[in-house]
Amino acid sequence: MKRKYLITVLFFLVTLSAFAQDLDLNNLPFPTGGKDWDVEYSPDWKDLREKEIPEWMIDAKFGIYTHWGVYSVPAHGGPDYVNELYMARDEDDKKGVKEYHRNKYGKIADVGYADLVPMFTAPKFNADEWAGLMKGAGAKFGGICVVHHDGFCLWDSKATRWNAKNMGPQRDIFGEIATAVRDKDMKLIATFHHARTYGYAIDRKNYDKYTDYQKKNWDLFDPEYADFYRNDYEEPMESFGNEWFLKVREVMDQYNPDVLWFDGLSGAMIKGMLPQDKVINMFEDHYKKNNDKLICNKLPGSGVWNFPSGVGIRCYEGGRDMEPNPKGYWMIDRAISYPWSYVNNKKYRDHEDFHIRTIIDVTSRGGVYLLSLTPKGDGSISDTEQKILKGIGNWMDINGEAIFETRKWRTHGEGEAKIVQIKPEKELVWWDFRRIQDKEIRYTRKKDNSAVYAIVTGWKENGSVTLKDLAKDQKFASKGIKSIELLGCDEAINWERTDDGLVLHYPSTKPCDHAYTFKITPKGDLVNFDRE
């Protein structure tokens, strides 16, 4: 059964009365962490708001994609290399990109960003290996960022010459990924970041600071590259917008991805670059292919949702601007370690323990975790990232049934971690998953309500853990407990149910690392669970 991701009484009342009057799409009180547009919505969003999140996504819980492109060749600063490179003033060189570029390649006048494209040959790219790593980690859907802010497309495009089939690798990168992902029985995601391409490379704020020398010698200002460095000095935004649609429709038609994810659309639509009616029409065509399609509704740094509330699945970048208690089903997207792309001598602050605990917490609250890899410029994936993925996969091999095809229980868990940080000085709410350490319990339940899983993040030699929410005076099983087991462990689990909680005694041997799952099977049906 498919589920709406936002279920409120008011929504149903308004929806049921829709036959009598138009929906006021600007004034529906959906519980969101961000803001809707400060402009009038088209009433034609109504049908898209009624599209359900497919059950496969609610079952999946975990997906993997990549940030990889021309910017991975210099491997410095992150995927915004082109933006940092062409900032008008040296004092704006916040990430040291200008200095790095001069030292490695010479003057920008001699080697510009476009000159890095022929260096992006990706000799070690292997789609089967990438998809295998995703599958091995337990991901149920996978793909890549098909185009980032620099506008270089990783598919065989007829809409632009700046694509991976025509230049650089001279391969249909996304075509190969699509085949490999589906061969591994995963759903396919394509993420688009190119709504920000228009004006992204040029420093409009300090345009008057560009010198005559720069305007004469930098490829940024060369008409030959105007179809790459897109900006309003060279073309109207409507022209860029039309090409944006062509590119997205190419990917839809040629590769038929199951999930479309976008960055920066709210601003592009508010400015008129992407007319609402054309966006709506394109999304309707996406859903027409089959009922299991999905659109991700990202909350950008601006705090304004890409689409009206109720369209697609809410997607929060790294937990930024989330509500303290998110309702329905939603998604977290983050890099395996920052920045978003591979950089030289990359430091990995977050390892498999962090990602495993994040997946556990997100799942317990009704979320889906979308993790981005950061492959090297040559197409290989670092040993560290492979180790992280293997660690996640090893944990999933034992504990995956407590994650996949589960639903929220009546409570997400117990413990000491206060992961929601409120920063009033910046008007930010941020979920800090690093605060989840060794004293946490998170609950999930089988979607058929045949069992509850208690995932514990700490191991106690010859010790025990008390599940307070399962105390004697708290009903959760109509006929009592049938059995309790620790996933991956053959030893019998000793337990007793007291007024303080359900006391579970640890066995003598750890079945895995990082977190441990107790499966609690009732004699009858579960009761008092969250049916959202």
pLDDT digits (tens, 9 = 90+) for 193-235: 999 999 999 999 999 999 999 999 999 999 999 999 999 999 9
Which residues does residue 517 pair with via DSSP β-bridges, in sequence order?
Answer: 455
Q: How far apart are the first and last CA of the chain?
A: 12
Do 350 and 337 meet the contact criterion of CB atoms below 8 Å apart? Answer: yes
Percentage above 90 pLDDT, the chain: 77
Rounded CA-CA distance 418/480 in Å is 32
**d(C-alpha 303, C-alpha 322), whole Å:** 10
Please report which confidence band the pLDDT of residue 22 belongs to, taking 50, 70 and 90 as the band edges.
very low
Q: Residue 162 corresponds to which amino acid?
A: W
Q: Retrieve residue 401's tokens.
A: 């049934």
- Least Cα distance to 27 among 309, 275, 329, 276 occurs for 309
pLDDT (0 to 100) of residue 461: 83
Bigger pLDDT: 418 vs 182: 182
| pLDDT, mean of residues 314-331 | 90
Render 278-336 in DSSP notation, one character per residue: HHHHHHHHHHHT-TT-EEEEEE-TTSB-SS-TTSSEEEEETTBT--SS--S-EEEEEES
How much is the pLDDT for 527? 65
pLDDT for the residue numbered 279: 97
Binned at pLDDT 50, 70 and 90, residue 528 comes out as low
pLDDT at 89: 84
State pTM to two decimals. Answer: 0.92
Q: How confident is the model at residue 39 (pLDDT cuts 50, 70, 90)?
A: confident
* Segment holding 260, helix H or strand E: strand 259-262
Q: Which of 373-387, 435-449, 516-530: highest mean pLDDT?
A: 373-387
In degrees and rounded to multiples of 5, residue 334 shows phi and psi of -160, 165
- CATH code at 63-77+118-194+238-404: 3.20.20.80
Specify the residue for token string 């200095």. 99
**Structure tokens of 309?**
């509330």
Helices marked H in 327-457: 352-364, 383-399
pLDDT given for residue 14 in this prediction: 30
DSSP character for 223? G
CATH code linked to domain 413-522: 2.60.40.1180
Structure tokens at 440: 């946490």
**Type of residue found at 513:** D
Q: Tell me which residue has tokens 């099977």.
A: 521
Rounded to whole angstroms, what are the CA distances from 445 to 43, 409, 450, 530? 38, 6, 8, 10
Q: At what angle do helices 383-399 and 352-364 cross, to 10 degrees?
A: 40
Residues of the chain with CATH 3.20.20.80: 63-77+118-194+238-404
- Return the axis-axis angle of helices 276-288 and 237-255, rounded to nearest 10°: 0
Calculate the dihedral angle through the C-alpha atoms of 201, 203, 209, 213, rounding to the nearest 10 degrees: 10
Q: Is the pLDDT of residue 421 over 90?
A: no
- Prior bond to 339 cis, omega within 30? yes
Residue 434: its pLDDT value, please?
87
Please answer whether residues 453 and 402 qualify as being in contact, where contact means their C-beta atoms are separated by less than 8 angstroms.
yes
C-alpha distances out from residue 328 to 190, 294, 364, 365, Å: 23, 15, 12, 9
Residue of 153, 238, 150, 155 lying closest to 199 (CA atoms): 150
Cα 483 to Cα 499: distance, rounded to the nearest angstrom: 19
Please give the residue that has the higher pLDDT: either 471 or 489.
489
pLDDT tens digits, 191-204: 999 999 999 999 99
Q: What are the C-alpha distances in Å from 268 to residues 161, 240, 243, 244, 417?
A: 23, 11, 13, 11, 38
Cβ atoms 265, 279 nearer than 8 A:
yes
Give residue-wise pLDDT tens across range 243-264.
999 999 999 999 999 999 999 8
Q: What is the distance between the alpha carbons of residues 70 and 74, in angstroms, rounded to a whole number?
A: 8
Q: Rounded to an integer, what distance in angstroms lies between the CA atom of residue 159 and that of residue 248? A: 10
DSSP label of 527: -
- pLDDT tens digits, one per residue of 160-178: 999 999 999 999 999 999 9
Give the burial string for 134-167 (b: 16+ CB within 10 Å, else e): bbbbbbbbbbbbbbbbbbbbbbbbebbebbbbeb
**Cα 105 from Cα 111, distance rounded (Å):** 6
pLDDT tens digits, one per residue of 336-357: 999 999 999 999 999 999 999 9
Q: What residues does CATH 2.60.40.1180 cover in the chain?
A: 413-522
Residues contacting residue 393 through CB under 8 Å, at least 6 positions apart: 136, 137, 138
> By C-alpha distance, which of 371, 340, 336 is closest to 351?
336
Question: How confident is the prediction for the chain on average, in pLDDT?
Answer: 90
The pLDDT score that the predictor gives to residue 12 is 29
Name the amino acid, one letter, at 42. Answer: S
Mean pLDDT score, 254-279: 95
